[in-house]
Structure 1
Amino acid sequence: MRRSILSSERDYTFSDFFHLAYPTEDIVKEFGIDYSLALLELPHKEIAEKPVRRFQEELTRKLPKISLNSEVARRDFLIAPILLELLNFIDGRISAEYPLEVERNLRGTLDYLIRTDKQLMVIEAKKADLDKGFTQLAVELIAVARYEEDAGPLFGVVTTGDLWKFGKLEGRRITKDMDVYRVPTDMVDLFGVLVGVLT
């Protein structure tokens, strides 16, 4: 039996996992979860492109005038506007800074939790480093799965606002998508996936 990489001398919050040097695979193994990297076949819904294209053009016009040098700036000026626009396509509720405590090392705050009648999605916002951000997202998905108990496949995304990388927790396996969606370039495809997952 291998030794735990987590110290028994302390408790860990979600954000602590972002700062650990261990790979995602080793960290999720601490919770009995396997890890894989693959091209995910994400649910995709055909959406009305015109409003998304209009939003895309507006964002493209305004982004050069905004300094995105912090996580807060990226959340306020990139991520939040996208999530507000998403509400035009789904019947759901968005919670920001959602507190969650499941057990000793599965606790902290989710940047965003989106819930519809059919599904929920965790969104983790980062200034940079999608790889370490994905590790944190993976632990958050594990926590949500244990909290919800009867949840089916769970989806999450780690984003810097201009890059969006999805993950899926199903059973005892978390899969990180090889693909990444770019904003504003891939806006229509990104919305198709977000709507597909949540409806």
Structure 2
Amino acid sequence: MAYSNFTTGEVKLAFGLRDEVGHLFPEARPVEPNQWLQDALARGGRLALASSNEKARSEFIVAPILVEVVATNEYAFALFSGQSLDVDEERGLKGECDFILSKGTGALTIDAPVVALVEAKNEDIKAGLGQCIAQMVAARLFNETKGNAIETIHGCVTTGETWQFLKLQGSIITVDVGRYYLGELPRILGVFQAMIDFYQQCE
């Protein structure tokens, strides 16, 4: 079993979790995209949204947004794409992650994963939640084994156009009450900035 095999019900049962719906980022403020990101999305976004290929949406929409988030914060966080996070093979916490945001400037290895982002297959956000939650659980266990004092992990499932955010704290998975859309990009950037600020304050 691997991350991508988990359904939401399976991951909740396997790791003793329960879910709830809540407002995750009530104080998040919109962040206007800079010209580079606007140009990148204008040039590549049209191609990505016309495609049913998750890889195209990842390269043309998701990656530029995440790169901008990291760059705006002076690379205090590292971005990993397509890297394996093998934490507990027996319990299925293994496999490749679409994107991981990790605290620290190290670019070669994941040192302190704090945000797991999953590309929704077949544009089905709900179907991607199990995979995302499993990666969030793995990120927390990884941090525990490394002695990182990080108890809260965030996650996101996205089609590129639609973004659903989550939070793992204790045994509770909180799913944000609302979804965000590419047409309201400043709100998406604001949510990512709120997450970055949260982890910077944890130092």
TM-score (norm 2): 0.78
Aligned counterparts, 1:1-199, within 5 A: 12-17=1-6, 20=7, 24-41=8-25, 44=28, 47=31, 49=32, 51=34, 55-56=37-38, 59-60=41-42, 62-66=44-48, 67-90=50-73, 91-103=76-88, 104=90, 105-117=92-104, 120-127=114-121, 128-149=123-144, 150-183=149-182, 185-199=183-197
**Worse-matched range after superposition: 169-178 or 27-36:** 27-36
The higher radius of gyration belongs to 1
Query: Helix, strand or coil: the match of 2:186?
Result: helix
Residues 1:121 and 1:50: Cα distance change in structure 2 (over 3 Å): closer
Query: Unaligned regions of 5+ residues in structure 2, if any?
Result: 105-111, 198-203
TM-score (norm 1): 0.79
Distance of 1:25 and 1:41 partners within structure 2 = 25
Residues 1:98 and 1:42: Cα distance change in structure 2 (over 3 Å): farther
Displacement of 1:60: 4.3
Query: Helix, strand or coil: the match of 2:142?
Result: helix
Kindly, what percent of the aligned residue pairs are identical?
26
CA contact under 8 A between 1:44 and 1:197: conserved in structure 2?
Answer: no
Query: Helix, strand or coil: the match of 1:106?
Result: coil
Query: Unaligned regions of 5+ residues in structure 1, if any?
Result: 1-11
Displacement of 1:120: 2.1
Residues 1:50 and 1:143: Cα distance change in structure 2 (over 3 Å): closer
Give the structure with the higher percent helix: 2
Distance of 1:102 and 1:189 partners within structure 2 = 33
Distance of 1:139 and 1:182 partners within structure 2 = 24
Residues 1:137 and 1:186: Cα distance change in structure 2 (over 3 Å): same
Q: Aligned residue pairs: how many?
A: 180
